[in-house]
Every structure is written in structure tokens, then in C-alpha cells.
Structure 1
């Protein structure tokens, strides 16, 4: 089964849909309806499906992911590399990463690009798979799991690298217990650590 087929199956399952709903609700706290949002590593467009009233553009390096995203929702999508975003400088109000940074080795370059395309006062919202959680650990050990493609398997260190770029906060959310989404900020059950902030030294 291809990565695209696996993502579609996950997102269309009751559990996967609940996960995506919770992630979208979290992001919604930090963006306004009139913001221009760039979703980097958009995959099959799950966030865009839930942000129909927002000005959001999805970008992914995988042509297959983007092709599928375009079939699932009318939002605009681009094929592109997070390290060299095909987006003008000072063009967006928010850059969102949903389970993206942990799969890219050149994180610092990606964060520099995110900072470049942000307007003054713009926000970075990074949702990172929490490798301290039982859910993520179990998937890292499961044969065939997409999680095994993660480059960064220390989510705390990765979150710290994001916090080196932004003046912001970090918190845990998206509790998962037996494939059920629950409210939890406990690092052992919360599947995501979120970092939200404005680039440090933002004087553009």
C-alpha cells in the first residue's frame, strides 16, 4: 500500500477523522478567517478539507499527495519543497506544519523559509508528533508504519529547535488511548507537542 493510500485510509477512518478534527480545532485558535495560511507538508489536504472558510494554500513535495488533495477539496495546492518554498517573501500570515518537521532533515532551513514568507507579526504553528507518547512509540515500532520514516525521533529536541526560531509557547495535546481521542496534556498520552509563536527578532 502506498503512503497516499495509507493516508486516505487513515483519514477516512473514524479514529483518523477524530485526530484530524482535533488538530484542525487546535490550529483554528491561532488563525483568523481573513489570514492567509500556508500549510507546509499538506499531504492529502486533510486540514484544507476542514478549513473551507479560510484562505489556505497547501504545499507538499509529493506530486501524488497533491494530486489526491486536489481531488478531495477545492483549496489551492502546490507541489514544492519546504526548503525552498515557491512563495513570495512577506506573503502569508501563518505557516502551519502538521506532522511535517519531524520528517525533514534540514529543519533549520525549513524554519528560515517559513520566517521569510511570513508577514511582520505572522505566526508559525508547528504540530510535532510527541515521541514521548505511548501512541507514537508504538507506531515507531510497528512494521510498515509511516512513523518509521521520521528523521527526528526526539520531539523535545525538535520543539526546542523551533523555539530557537520563534518567540512562543509549547504544549502537549491530542491524547490518544486505545485509538480513542481524549483530552490530555500528559506527555505519555498526548500524541502531539505544539509550538506556536512569532519569529524572534521579527522587525520586517
Structure 2
């Protein structure tokens, strides 16, 4: 099964839909209605599906993902690399990463680019798989799991790195246990470590 097929299957499952609904709701708490949003690592456009009333650009380095996204959602999608964004400096209000940063080895290049394209008072919203959680740990150990491709397996260190580029805070949300989703800020139960902040001078 291709990555695109796997993502479509996940996105269309009851579990995947609930996860992405909650992630999208979290992102919406941190943006304004007229923000210009860049979603880095957009995949098949699942966030864009939930942001139809917003000005949002989805970017991915996979041609297959971009093709699938364009077929699924009427939004702007760009083929590009997170370490060299084809986006003008200080041209977006919000940069979003949803389970993207932990898969990219050159994290400094990605964060430097993200803060470059952000307006000076813009917002970076990074949702990272929380490696302290039972859900993420079990997936890291599962043979064939997409999580095994993670380049950064210490979400605390990754959050600290993000906070070298933006002034903000880390919090935990999205409790998951056996594909049951619930409210939790407990680092052992919450699947997502979120960092939200504005670019440092």
C-alpha cells in the first residue's frame, strides 16, 4: 500500500477523522479569520478540508500527496521542500506543522525557513507526536508503522529546539488509548506535544 493510500485510509477512518478534527480545532484557536496560513507537510489535504473558509496554502514535497490533495480539496497546494520554502519572506500570518517536524532531519533549516516566511508578529503552530505517550511509543515499536520513519524521537528535545526560534509555550493534548480519543494534558496519555509561538527577534 502506498503512503497516499495509507493516509487516505487513515483520514477516512472514524479514528483518523476524530484525531484530525481535534487537531484542526486546536489550530483554529490560534489563528484569526483573515490570517494567511501555510501548512507545511500537508499530505493529502486533510487540514485544508477543515479550513475551507480560510486562506490556506498546503505544501508538501511529495508529488503524489499534492496530486491527491488537489483531487480532494479546492485549495492552494504547492510542491516544495520545508528546508527551502518557495514562499516570500514575511508573507504569511501562520505556519502550521502537524506531525511533520519530527520526520525531517534538518530541523534547524526547517525552523529558519518557517520563521523567515512568517510576519514578525505571526504565529507558528507545531503539533508534534509526543514520544512520552503510550500511543506514540507503541507505534514506534510496531513493525511497518509510519512512526518508525521519525528522525526525531525525543519530543521534549524537539520542543526545546522549536522554542529557540519562537517565543511561546509547550502544552499537551489529544489523549489516545486503543484508538479511543479523549481530553488529556497528561504527557503519558496525550499523543500531541504542541508548541505555539511568535518569531524571536
What is the deviation of 1:180?
Answer: 1.0
Aligned to 1:53: 53
What is the deviation of 1:33?
Answer: 1.2
Cα deviation, 1:68-119, whole Å, max 9, x if unaligned, reads: 0011100110000000000011110000000000000111110110111111
For 2:145 and 2:69, locate their aligned partners in 1 and report how far apart those are by CA, in whole Å: 21
What is the deviation of 1:55?
Answer: 0.4
Aligned to 2:23: 23
What is the deviation of 1:124?
Answer: 0.5
Q: TM-score, normalised by structure 2?
A: 0.99
For 1:66 and 1:191, locate their aligned partners in 2 and report how far apart those are by CA, in whole Å: 26
For 2:111 and 2:53, locate their aligned partners in 1 and report how far apart those are by CA, in whole Å: 26
For 1:30 and 1:152, locate their aligned partners in 2 and report how far apart those are by CA, in whole Å: 25
SS class of match (2:187): coil
Please tell me whether residue 85 in structure 1 is matched to residue 102 in structure 2: no
Q: Where do residues 1-204 of structure 1 align in structure 2 (5 Å cutoff)?
A: 1-201=1-201
**Structure 2 residue ranges without an equivalent (≥5):** none
For 2:40 and 2:107, locate their aligned partners in 1 and report how far apart those are by CA, in whole Å: 12
Number of aligned residues:
201
Q: TM-score, normalised by structure 1?
A: 0.98
What is the deviation of 1:143?
Answer: 1.0
For 1:195 and 1:62, locate their aligned partners in 2 and report how far apart those are by CA, in whole Å: 25
**Structure 1 residue ranges without an equivalent (≥5):** none
